Amino acid sequence: MSTDSSFPQRPVTASVPSVSTLLQQGDYVVALSQLQQISESERQLDDWVNQAVCLIHLDQAEAALEACDRALNLTPDHPQAWLFKGVACHRLQQYDAAYACYDKALGKGQASPKAATVMKTWRQQVAALRSFAKHVKETRLLRLWLN
pLDDT of the residue at 110: 52
Average pLDDT over residues 19-29: 92
Q: Is the pLDDT of residue 58 over 50?
A: yes
Note the Cα 3 to chain centre separation in Å. Answer: 26
Contact (CB, 8 A) for 70 and 84: no
Query: Who wins on pLDDT, 115 or 94?
Result: 94
- Find the angle CA(128)-CA(131)-CA(135) to the nearest 5 degrees: 135
Longest dimension (CA), the chain: 77
> How many distinct helices (H) and strands (E) make up the chain?
7, 0
pTM over cut 0.75 = no
Polymer length of the chain: 147
